[in-house]
Amino acid sequence: MQDALIEITIHIAVVAALAIAVAAAARIRLRAGWLVVALALMLLRDAMVLRGYGLVPDLFPGSDWNWTGKLLATAGLLVVAAMPGFGLRRCGVTLRQAPGSRPAWIVFAVLGVAIFALAFHYRDGSDGLDTILFQWTMPGVEEELFYRGVLLLALNEALDGGNRRRFAGIGWGGVLASVAFGLGHALYWRDGAPSLDAMAFAMTGGPALLLVWFRARTGSLVLPVLAHNVANGAFTLF
């Protein structure tokens, strides 16, 4: 697990450096306490997803997917979201949709049709039940709860605070949460050196901004979770 610890340390360092740079360049009052909370959440979530870096036994040894880590992280993040200073609704854990959310749902509907069309066009046989169930549940639920939920709230508080200057509902916190999402899918430590997959970063960090917009427009994680799971799951069906 040494490589995993080095990776999350690099991710945390990059997000911290960017937060400090953004605050200085945009003349934003950086709330250091909230930034520390955000960075601690990155480490906590990484530890939970990786089952305490191997200390927690795998409860689904017959599966090819990390059900145990994802379920553990989901439970832990819900606890964080319910804590004072966060709040379930502030983290988007609500079914209620904010006024003016219709455009986001229309965009999702159009993109959803396009994704299913692509999945059908490039079909090469459906995956097994274990893969289908996992991809239609865990990535969207756990990752949205973190990146568009508790981490987004902490970074928004760190960089925006009472200053709500945002573009299309996305503040600097949303940008950094999207960077963190991209890093989690693209920046690795292998053979004693960092490895960045630029294409993977672009293909995850870019769409992450759309998920932040969904979250901001609807005030809920429901649409980001659905969008995330459609993107992950559509290609498992054909």
Helix (H) or strand (E) holding 52: helix 51-54
25-29, 35-39, 129-133, 149-153: which range is least confident on average?
25-29
Structure confidence at residue 126 (pLDDT): 87
State whether residue 30 is helix, strand or coil.
coil
38 phi/psi in degrees, rounded to 5: -60, -45
For residues 151 and 209, what is the distance between their CA atoms, to the nearest angstrom?
A: 14
Structure confidence at residue 165 (pLDDT): 62
pTM of the predicted protein model: 0.95
Structure confidence at residue 191 (pLDDT): 83
- Taking CA atoms, 126 is separated from 18, 111, 113, in Å, by 41, 21, 18
Taking only the tens place, the pLDDT of each residue in 137-192 is 999 999 999 999 999 999 999 997 655 567 777 899 999 999 999 999 999 998 88
For residues 75 and 183, what is the distance between their CA atoms, to the nearest angstrom?
A: 23
What is the gyration radius of the CA atoms in the chain, in angstroms? 18
Average pLDDT over residues 3-25: 95
For residues 139 and 177, what is the distance between their CA atoms, to the nearest angstrom?
A: 16
Structure confidence at residue 163 (pLDDT): 58
Structure confidence at residue 164 (pLDDT): 59
187 phi/psi in degrees, rounded to 5: -110, 115
Residue where the block lists tokens 């159009």: 110
For residues 18 and 152, what is the distance between their CA atoms, to the nearest angstrom?
A: 15
Closest CA to 195 of 6, 2, 22: 6
Structure confidence at residue 160 (pLDDT): 75
Beta strands in the chain (DSSP E): 187-190, 193-196
Higher pLDDT among residues 40 and 162, named by residue: 40
What is the per-residue DSSP string for 57-102?
Answer: PPS-TT-SS-HHHHHHHHHHHHHHHTSTTT-TTTTT--SPPPTT-H
For residues 171 and 87, what is the distance between their CA atoms, to the nearest angstrom?
A: 20
Taking only the tens place, the pLDDT of each residue in 62-119 is 999 999 999 999 999 999 999 999 999 999 999 999 999 999 999 999 999 999 999 9
End-to-end CA distance of the chain: 35
Structure confidence at residue 101 (pLDDT): 97
